A and B are shown apart, each in its own frame.
Chain A
């Protein structure tokens, strides 16, 4: 007890010191207030009256987005808004009533304006209507005498002339949200919009530009009297994409109502010529602001229109994975190109039976045949011999299961399983049966359409690990290869092995046994090589298999197989690589291959067109010319 009273005395002494210090500091604050607000008050009153220069930010115009031939994908539209200054009119409601005769104002806007004029100070302008056309504004200006307090202000809104077809590439702009990183004073400007998706987001900083400053003089109650100084900002830079608008439109149209994705790229430069994901959505909607029911409809749509399936959709690649498995086996030496494997329609391993898609089997096949026929048993066998880790390593080298760094947000990695991955992610050891399943691109294997296109491009290129890019790449100086110029890594795969795989892919389309023989391009110099894929969405039970495996048409949409196809063309000097996926479309050969064929034809025709001397003569009329030409081809039935 005495101990505590000793502590208490000590505490009281020390607390007195602390409290005394705090009291002194408070007194110092009081003294400072007295100094500022009494002794120096007059000086500060004068300063405050002089304090009439108000700094304001000026938003720079946002850079435009163009396709490779200079056609507009995103631009700025002059628009107007009508403002009301309450102190300049005797009757706010009357003024609004007369304005309503000229520009219709909705009931909710009317209520908002009345509320704001009551709450804000009388000289603060209140926005009455936005996104008005020049015609509306002209009417307002003509009737200005009857509209006291009403003024018109210019603004910019973003326009997307190509609409839904390009929304997954271009993206959209929308107002700055609470959680956006505010690294630029421009973002604090009311109504300022930034890129939220697509290249609008990926290149936001470049497109945005830098803000200007306007110094305005205001009077004692804050009304602007005149502009003293103005420093214009730097407008955002234009962005030219490698995309070809004609090919993009054509690919969108070719997919039609089907849900899926197409990626078309240049096998030398990695430039993306078309990137489609269906369905799309209206890019203007986010800029204007979405009604809750519109938003709900978008996110509840089972076809997920907001997802860019080309870079974010992860699918089992199915048989389109087989070229990668073949290359892994060849590089590992677990099979020679001419070694035969006999297919009896199934492979038994450790109590499990793995079926070939063809019930009766393919007999003895070598690598080229196996690719052409898409024989599952052959690939089960070489996958078993090679092992999962070398297969995944080869897939990574070809661009599967890795981040490719395309200039779009939301790129997904897909998945290439390894023993280490399964041990750490699922805490289970790898089983041999899983290797076998991965050998035909099922099981854990996942890839995006972009990755499949890159894999195809790398196989067709043969030398460089081509990297995809949406923005136009600079021209390659003579004497340099695109691979060196753009800093691609070498692919490091034996050219002979690549040649065998390419021959197999040629046979898929151009031989009478090939799975996609119906989709061959007959035009000389334009032929394509490819690989079909059908990725299973459901599990086929033993009971079902013993009777009869159901055909796709007999199943509900969401249980049907995904149809895939990868291809490159022309065979002799590959230039274009493509990946097509149609969700729940059925077989790759029937559904996806014809789409890929038509787009590859269109790409090569457009290239010829632009390379011919006539095309350079017609430079100015280019847009019309190509459009007319595409229309003619369509009439001819060539597309």
Chain B
């Protein structure tokens, strides 16, 4: 161990900067760079309209991430509920004005980057749950009645987002929140019960899906049902991906992507384009980078010396993992098409900002890893 940060010794900003896990930051920069390189190719070899903007947005998000990372972890503990309620309100306002006013926007404009409240909710939910479980002792956690409030905290925003409708985000909220509750030590029989309930609810959920969502699910089960319609994306994505072979067709030379057989190649399907141009060698390398990011974050979670930090880190990590997994599994034809981007690589500012703020929280956990916080007295 090099330096150790004591709770009572007021650390200077330089100490804190020294304690940021720079290897993780470097991995994130690598991912964003890969994104820009692929967006350059997606635009047939031009910085405009995507690659340059992507890099610019990442730079802004990087700055914000470092600000979050250097903020005292107790600040996030203190304000967890307030942040959750604020984001929930924002989400409700957007939902209500979205149904009443025409052409209302689902996002808040921050100049170069737009933020969707649903994106912020992924973080706010993890914060609120981590704070809730931070205040409970192990016996309390095991009591079935104590899981009711977390269920409400997860359920309300999930229902609001399902109404938008945004299936991908809803699934991520549910799974991300579930991971925190699980890691906090929920009784295993309740976990089993919850899984059974989810299975049982599937036929009911089917009734609530929109026609296009049902079509996607049916197409997933049988892609040849409508090869030029809804099945087109999956089929073309698999062809582009598979034809990349071991070493790929070379940068800027992916035929399927550049001939526009591949839809949405700059957003949800950017991995397919990468796979076509760089082959299996490239895709496994990229997968390893993502795994390294997740592994690094899990290590941070295990190392932290207070429950809030641990739960916060594992919640954010799981959310990031879900982004990656859902997107990759989708473009490989393992799960139905849901609109989830590949974080830091796909074009689009709103997901990037959410993900980077999340990494800011994880880094903050690492910077303040030795801070001990009582269950009720927070030793400000």
Across-interface contacts of A6 in B (CB, < 8 A): 138
Interface residues in A3-20 by Cβ distance below 8 A to B read 3-4, 6-8, 10-12, 14-15, 17-19
Task: Say yes or no for B243: interface residue by CB 8 A criterion.
Answer: yes
**Contact between chains at B239 and A220 (CB < 8 Å):** no
**Contact between chains at A38 and B44 (CB < 8 Å):** no
**Contact between chains at B259 and A37 (CB < 8 Å):** no
| Min CB–CB distance A27 → chain B (angstroms) | 9
Task: Say yes or no for A336: interface residue by CB 8 A criterion.
Answer: no
Across-interface contacts of A11 in B (CB, < 8 A): 183-185, 302, 307, 310-311, 314
Task: Say yes or no for A573: interface residue by CB 8 A criterion.
Answer: no
Q: List 9 A-B contacts (CB under 8 A).
A: A18-B314, A22-B318, A29-B334, A36-B332, A38-B280, A43-B242, A45-B243, A47-B243, A220-B255
Chain B 186-210 interface mask (CB, 8 Å, partner A; 1/0): 0000000000000000000000000
Across-interface contacts of B332 in A (CB, < 8 A): 29, 32-33, 36
| Min CB–CB distance A108 → chain B (angstroms) | 16
Across-interface contacts of A34 in B (CB, < 8 A): 280
Task: Say yes or no for A221: interface residue by CB 8 A criterion.
Answer: yes
Chain A residue nearest to B286 in the complex (CB): A33
| Min CB–CB distance B74 → chain A (angstroms) | 16
* Residue of B45, B244, B246, B284 touching A119 (CB-CB under 8 A): B45
Chain B residue nearest to A47 in the complex (CB): B239
Cα(A15)–Cα(B313), bound, Å: 11
Chain B interface SS verdict (over half): helix
| Min CB–CB distance A585 → chain B (angstroms) | 36
The 3 closest A-B pairs by CB, nearest first: A44-B242, A48-B243, A37-B280
Cα(A40)–Cα(B246), bound, Å: 11
Task: Say yes or no for B241: interface residue by CB 8 A criterion.
Answer: yes
Cα(A45)–Cα(B245), bound, Å: 8
Cα(A26)–Cα(B184), bound, Å: 24
Q: A3-B138, A22-B321, A54-B260 are in contact. Are A37 and B245 (CB under 8 A)?
A: yes
Chain B 290-321 interface mask (CB, 8 Å, partner A; 1/0): 11001100100110011100110010001001
Across-interface contacts of B256 in A (CB, < 8 A): 48, 51
Across-interface contacts of A181 in B (CB, < 8 A): 103
| Min CB–CB distance B276 → chain A (angstroms) | 9
Across-interface contacts of A55 in B (CB, < 8 A): 228
Cα(A15)–Cα(B175), bound, Å: 14
* Residue of A26, A44, A124 touching B241 (CB-CB under 8 A): A44
Task: Say yes or no for B80: interface residue by CB 8 A criterion.
Answer: no
In this complex, how many residues of chain B approach chain A with their Cβ under 8 Å: the count is 57
Cα(A54)–Cα(B45), bound, Å: 21
**Contact between chains at A23 and B239 (CB < 8 Å):** no
**Contact between chains at B261 and A54 (CB < 8 Å):** yes
Task: Say yes or no for B22: interface residue by CB 8 A criterion.
Answer: no
Cα(A29)–Cα(B334), bound, Å: 9
Cα(A6)–Cα(B332), bound, Å: 41
Task: Say yes or no for A226: interface residue by CB 8 A criterion.
Answer: no
Chain B residue nearest to A215 in the complex (CB): B228
Chain A residue nearest to B313 in the complex (CB): A15
Q: A23-B291, A44-B238 are in contact. Are A222 and B255 (CB under 8 A)?
A: yes
| Min CB–CB distance A212 → chain B (angstroms) | 15
Task: Say yes or no for A490: interface residue by CB 8 A criterion.
Answer: no
Interface residues in A25-73 by Cβ distance below 8 A to B read 25-26, 28-30, 32-34, 36-38, 40-41, 43-45, 47-48, 51, 54-55
Cα(A415)–Cα(B279), bound, Å: 67
Task: Say yes or no for B67: interface residue by CB 8 A criterion.
Answer: no
**Contact between chains at B255 and A44 (CB < 8 Å):** no
Interface residues in A73-102 by Cβ distance below 8 A to B read none
**Contact between chains at A7 and B243 (CB < 8 Å):** no
Task: Say yes or no for A432: interface residue by CB 8 A criterion.
Answer: no
Across-interface contacts of A120 in B (CB, < 8 A): 44-46
Across-interface contacts of A41 in B (CB, < 8 A): 242-246
Across-interface contacts of A206 in B (CB, < 8 A): none
Cα(A22)–Cα(B243), bound, Å: 27
Across-interface contacts of A608 in B (CB, < 8 A): none
| Min CB–CB distance B224 → chain A (angstroms) | 13
Cα(A179)–Cα(B103), bound, Å: 8
Interface residues in B254-274 by Cβ distance below 8 A to A read 255-256, 258-261
Across-interface contacts of B162 in A (CB, < 8 A): none
**Contact between chains at A37 and B255 (CB < 8 Å):** no
Other contacts beyond A4-B305, A119-B44: 10, CB < 8 A? A18-B183, A26-B291, A32-B334, A37-B283, A40-B242, A45-B245, A47-B243, A54-B261, A120-B46, A222-B255
Task: Say yes or no for B275: interface residue by CB 8 A criterion.
Answer: yes
Chain A 324-367 interface mask (CB, 8 Å, partner B; 1/0): 00000000000000000000000000000000000000000000
Across-interface contacts of A221 in B (CB, < 8 A): 255
Chain A residue nearest to B297 in the complex (CB): A19
**Contact between chains at B240 and A48 (CB < 8 Å):** yes
Chain A interface SS verdict (over half): helix
Chain B residue nearest to A6 in the complex (CB): B138
* Residue of A7, A119, A179, A222 touching B185 (CB-CB under 8 A): A7
* Residue of A14, A18, A222 touching B259 (CB-CB under 8 A): A222
| Min CB–CB distance B362 → chain A (angstroms) | 14
Among A4, A15, A17: residue with most chain B CB under 10 A? A15
Across-interface contacts of B241 in A (CB, < 8 A): 33, 36-37, 44
**Contact between chains at B307 and A15 (CB < 8 Å):** no
Across-interface contacts of A44 in B (CB, < 8 A): 238-239, 241-243
Chain A 375-411 interface mask (CB, 8 Å, partner B; 1/0): 0000000000000000000000000000000000000
Chain B residue nearest to A50 in the complex (CB): B239
Task: Say yes or no for A202: interface residue by CB 8 A criterion.
Answer: no
Cα(A29)–Cα(B335), bound, Å: 11
Interface residues in B73-112 by Cβ distance below 8 A to A read 103
Task: Say yes or no for A230: interface residue by CB 8 A criterion.
Answer: no
| Min CB–CB distance B187 → chain A (angstroms) | 11
* Residue of A4, A10, A38, A119 touching B306 (CB-CB under 8 A): A4
**Contact between chains at A30 and B287 (CB < 8 Å):** yes
Task: Say yes or no for A632: interface residue by CB 8 A criterion.
Answer: no
Interface residues in A216-271 by Cβ distance below 8 A to B read 218, 220-222
**Contact between chains at B244 and A37 (CB < 8 Å):** yes
Among B179, B259, B310, B318: residue with most chain A CB under 10 A? B259
Across-interface contacts of B259 in A (CB, < 8 A): 51, 54, 218, 222
Cα(A31)–Cα(B284), bound, Å: 10
Across-interface contacts of A220 in B (CB, < 8 A): 255
Task: Say yes or no for A428: interface residue by CB 8 A criterion.
Answer: no
**Contact between chains at A124 and B255 (CB < 8 Å):** no
**Contact between chains at A26 and B287 (CB < 8 Å):** yes
* Residue of A7, A33, A121, A179 touching B283 (CB-CB under 8 A): A33
Cα(A40)–Cα(B239), bound, Å: 10
Across-interface contacts of A32 in B (CB, < 8 A): 329, 332, 334
Cα(A14)–Cα(B238), bound, Å: 35
Across-interface contacts of A121 in B (CB, < 8 A): 44-45, 252, 258
Among A7, A10, A54: residue with most chain B CB under 10 A? A7
| Min CB–CB distance B318 → chain A (angstroms) | 7
* Residue of A26, A29, A38 touching B246 (CB-CB under 8 A): A38
Task: Say yes or no for B182: interface residue by CB 8 A criterion.
Answer: yes
Task: Say yes or no for B367: interface residue by CB 8 A criterion.
Answer: no
* Residue of A15, A40, A45 touching B301 (CB-CB under 8 A): A15
Q: A32-B334, A37-B283, A179-B103 are in contact. Are A3 and B137 (CB under 8 A)?
A: yes
Across-interface contacts of B246 in A (CB, < 8 A): 37-38, 41
Cα(A218)–Cα(B255), bound, Å: 11
Task: Say yes or no for B132: interface residue by CB 8 A criterion.
Answer: no
Across-interface contacts of A12 in B (CB, < 8 A): 302
Interface residues in B317-348 by Cβ distance below 8 A to A read 318, 321, 325, 328-329, 332, 334
Q: A3-B138, A7-B307, A15-B301 are in contact. Are A30 and B284 (CB under 8 A)?
A: yes
Cα(A3)–Cα(B329), bound, Å: 40
Across-interface contacts of B183 in A (CB, < 8 A): 11, 14-15, 18
Cα(A25)–Cα(B324), bound, Å: 11
| Min CB–CB distance A609 → chain B (angstroms) | 45
Chain B residue nearest to A11 in the complex (CB): B310
